[in-house]
Amino acid sequence: MSIDRIGTKGRCVFCGEKLFKKNEEHVIPKWAMRETGTTGTARPFYAKLHSSRGYIRVHEPWRKLTVPAHQSCNSEFSQLENLARTALLAIQSGDEVTPRQLGQFADWIDKVRVGFWWWVVSRSGNPLNVPMTFGIADRLGTKDRLIRVSLLDCTTEGLNILGASSLGFQNQPSAFALRFNNVLVLSVSSDFILAERMGYAYPTHWNHSSDGLIEIELAEGRGAPRIPIFPRLFGIPGTAAYQTLSGPDKSPLMVVDNEQVKPFPTSRFGSRWQNISVSGACALLEMEVRAYQWLLLQQSAAQGAKISPVFRDLVLTEHNKTISAISRAYFDRALPVLR
């Protein structure tokens, strides 16, 4: 079934402008499908989405996950694909990654996260009536972001997107995770989530005006990072990179491994996550992503963003149900692997 442009209304995923000629962008690029053995129908994308008609089960080959895009915007961003591929393959094989490569990889993760959000909102019929006010071009490298890379000891090919079928993700694409063969990448990005603890200028007050504008009052940064920079909820091992981009201070990516700020460039990127199956690791990551989505929703509410109580209850119910379902599946299936 085609997307039928619901929600995105035939607008370009990159710039958000109208599309006059049919042209599409793959949410997961072809190179990533080839590398993970997901070009065919054997390992499709599977999700249970909250749609405008209740829950729907989506079961589609990854290549069918497309969003509208201008040809010109598409080719403007195609260079990023080559750069991200090089970085991801280096990470996967434990090779050296330069700061520049890591930045390109972080940009690509922003791209996939926002692209996937457009697809999910379209496919679900936008039950939350989320205004699609930004596309990939507006959101790439513009807000505080963290990426954390964990490497699994496995040779199983495969591709998974975790935490992106939730209502929390539909509301704001701030947290998701990607499994690319043995590489697990957590991506969390939202306004000012890292600035204060990274030691940069951070907001003390958020004033929402009636015309939708947000005015913030900033305090000066401490000048030095405080570890942990972002709460670690599940203790999942990994090398994390943090960057603040929301405020007047833009930082370089800061790499933290085992709670230690590492001098960069790192020789190897990504801590090993041992003695866990792929499905067990994915289940834990899904829970972690959902927990971060809930945390960020609470943060938006605390900053005075208008969040309808109905939506908040809906997300909370969904969140609780999912966490208990996943933990049941996880403890039933994955625990023997952990022993």
Instruction: Name the site residues for Zn ion (rule: CB under 5 A).
Output: 12, 14-15, 70, 73
Closest separation between CB of residue 67 and Zn ion, Å?
11
Output 114 or 178, the one with its CB closest to Zn ion.
114
CB of 70 to Zn ion, least distance (A): 3
Minimum distance of Zn ion from residue 23's CB (angstroms): 9
Alpha carbon 118 to its chain centroid, in Å, reads 13
For Zn ion, the closer CB: 15 or 245: 15
Closest to Zn ion by CB, 118 or 180: 118
User: What whole-number distance in Å separates Cα of residue 127 and Cα of residue 170?
Assistant: 9
- Beta-bridge partner residues of 175: 188
**Min CB(31)–Zn ion separation in Å:** 21
What is the β-pairing status of strands 145-152 and 271-273? parallel
At 230, list the tokens: 């972002």
To Zn ion, the closest distance from the beta carbon of 36 in angstroms equals 27
Q: 73 vs 80, which CB is nearer to Zn ion? A: 73
CB-based contacts of 62, cutoff 8 Å, min separation 6: 26, 28, 33, 38, 39, 43, 44, 45, 159
Closer Cβ to Zn ion, 20 or 213, answer by number: 20
Shortest Cβ 19–Zn ion spacing (Å): 7
Q: What is the DSSP string of 265-311?
A: SBSS-SEEE-S--HHHHHHHHHHHHHHHHHHHHHHHHHTT----HHH
Both structure tokens of 167: 């209502």
CA distance 79 to 166: 31
CB of 263 to Zn ion, least distance (A): 39
Tokens of 211: 């015309």
**What are the tokens at 158?**
């495969």
CB-CB contact of 194 with 146 (8 Å): yes
Q: Which is nearer to Zn ion, 16 or 158 (CB)?
A: 16
Min CB(13)–Zn ion separation in Å: 8
Q: Choose between 75 and 298: whose C-beta lies nearer to Zn ion.
A: 75
Cis peptide before 29 (omega within 30 of 0): no
Residue nearest to Zn ion (CB): 12
Comparing CB distances to Zn ion, the nearer of 130 and 137 is 137
Token pair 């963003």: residue: 305
Q: Which of 217, 216, 222, 227 is nearest to 200 (CA)?
A: 222
Beta bridge pairs of residue 60 = 45
DSSP state of 11: B
